[in-house]
Amino acid sequence: MINKVVGDLAAAMAGIQSDASIMISGFSNAGVPTTLVRALGAMNLTGLTLIMNAARRIDECDASLFNDRRVDHVITTAFRGPEAAPANFEQQWKRGELSLEILPQGTFAERIRAGGAGIPAFFSPTAVGTSLVEGREQRDFNGQTYVLEEALTADFALLRAQKADRHGNLFFRGTQANFGSAMATAARTTIVEVAEISETGLRPEEIHLPGIYVQRVLQAPRQDQIA
């Protein structure tokens, strides 16, 4: 019998090791897996690659990830702290202590989607003509220039959703899905925290993400993102 629901945080986070690549869902305050991110911060790992829309949101969730130098590489669309003074993670980048790949948000999303969909690379119009694509492969189709973008995958994805069932099917509330639904398809192991476990099972019309993409589900109350 399939049962993807795990009983505690330790079981949820099992197997995440130093040097892992980890996708983290969330846009602003929606869909941020606060409990899982804080558990990750408490694991005392090093050499992590974090793949998330905005570094600030994860830093607000658990400052130890950057403060304790757990992160070596970041792939993101926004690497800027909320204050005029640079955040710790911005300073680390300026000092060369971590490397950064900064992407347009749509390219970020589509590269993750490609990673889950078996598409190794695609051409995109976004960022053509900007400094982001200097020196990269570009090609014209129908008179317009496009840049080649490669798929993104990761060892783990951490998501938050509203509801799950034992099959791992997910229901997202509001704008919770954002990058999480694609990240789940692009990671080898997808771990989801949810407000509710449906004992009767989600109905087909409620399911936003089929359980095939989810390996572990943990019930965890919503926490404010800023600790």
Partner 1 sequence: MSTPPLSTPPLGTPLTRNQMAWRAAQDLADGAYVNLGLGMPVLAANYAPAEREIFYHSENGILGVGPVALPGQGDPELVDAGSQLVTLRDGASVFDSVASFAMIRGGHLDITILGAFQVAANGDLANWDALSAEKGPLIGGAMDLSMGAKAVHIIMRHTTREGEARLVTACSYPLTVRGRVNRVYTDLAVLDIEQGQLVVREIIPGLRHDELAAVTDAPLTFAADCRELIAPDLDGGI
- Ranges within 47-86 binding a copy of itself (CB under 8 A): none
Q: Are strands 144-150 and 138-141 parallel, antiparallel or unpaired?
A: antiparallel
Q: Is 162 in the site for a copy of itself (CB under 8 A)?
A: no
CB proximity list for 66: less than 8 A, separation 6 or greater: 55, 59, 87, 88, 89, 92
In the list partner 1, a copy of itself, none, the entry touching 175 (Cβ below 5 to 8 angstroms by class) is: partner 1
Short-list 219, 101, 216, CA closest to 158 = 216
Among 117, 197, 226, 227, binds a copy of itself (CB under 8 A): 117
Among 11, 14, 42, 121, binds a copy of itself (CB under 8 A): 121
Supply the minimum distance, in Å, between the C-beta of residue 208 and a copy of itself.
10
Q: How far is CA 177 from the centre of its chain?
A: 11
Supply the minimum distance, in Å, between the C-beta of residue 44 and partner 1.
25
Supply the minimum distance, in Å, between the C-beta of residue 39 and a copy of itself.
31
Residues 8-37 that bind partner 1 (CB under 8 A): 27-31
In contact, 6 and 218? CB cutoff 8 Å: yes
> Taking the C-alpha atoms of 151, 154, 158 and 160 in order, what is their torsion angle to the nearest 10 degrees?
20
Short-list 163, 132, 116, CA closest to 5 = 163
Burial class of 111 by CB neighbour count within 10 A (0 to 12, 13 to 18, 19+)? buried
Rounded CA-CA distance 200/5 in Å is: 14
Supply the minimum distance, in Å, between the C-beta of residue 40 and partner 1.
21
Residues 147-206 that bind partner 1 (CB under 8 A): 162, 165-167, 169, 172-182, 185, 201-202, 204
Among 114, 192, 207, 214, binds a copy of itself (CB under 8 A): 114
Among 19, 97, 150, 224, binds a copy of itself (CB under 8 A): 150
Supply the minimum distance, in Å, between the C-beta of residue 107 and a copy of itself.
11
In contact, 26 and 57? CB cutoff 8 Å: yes
Among 102, 119, 127, 128, binds a copy of itself (CB under 8 A): 119
Residues that bind a copy of itself (CB under 8 A): 110, 114, 117-125, 139, 141-142, 144, 146, 150, 205-206
